[in-house]
Structure 1
Amino acid sequence: MTGMQMVLVILSAAGATVLTRALPFLAFPAGRETPAVVRYLGQALPGAVFALLVVYCLKDVDVLAGAHGIPETIGILIAGGTYLWRRSMLVSILSSTVVYMLLVNLVF
């Protein structure tokens, strides 16, 4: 890659980054009410992302081999329990990940 190509790639990446950061402020300026669809997505997407994360984590689990999916099941229960307790996705995901990694590396 030539020097000019590198500069163009860096500039286009920087421009795309600035555009994606500024676009929400341009589309939804201060002082105007947020559209109902955007408010709905703000409420619905966190749960959908969480469900997608669970499905992705379980896609390669073989219940007929190894630990039979026990660490994964415990991790899911920890995630659900901590979310119901704290109502924080970050705490829920972090705690279940720590428990799962401990189970996989130290117990099973």
Structure 2
Amino acid sequence: MAVALLASGACWGGDVKEQLSSETQAAEAALRQVCAGVASALEPVDRKHFEEAQQKWLAFRDAEASFQAGLTSMGGSAYSTDYQAERLAMTRERIKLLKKVLESVK
């Protein structure tokens, strides 16, 4: 999985945690932006359902990232890096999906 590569530093030079933090902040901003676009393109009843689904997805993402990080780090010192890397990967996938949704509702 990508988490192992990210945690090992194989994908980036320099400080992996710093890079992950920077990439995560950018992805979170992009996710908020695309969510706002989707929400504004929907009818009120659909917007409510989307917002509920998005909140549940965020909870799932965090729980799944924690689960995956626990598997890859086996509870060791790499847990936080693995968690952030998995969370980032899932966020990027969600952004791709929501961009497709946005195109379909425009």
TM-score normalised by length of structure 1: 0.38
Specify which structure has the higher proportion of helix.
Answer: 2
TM-score normalised by length of structure 2: 0.39
Which one has the largest radius of gyration? 1
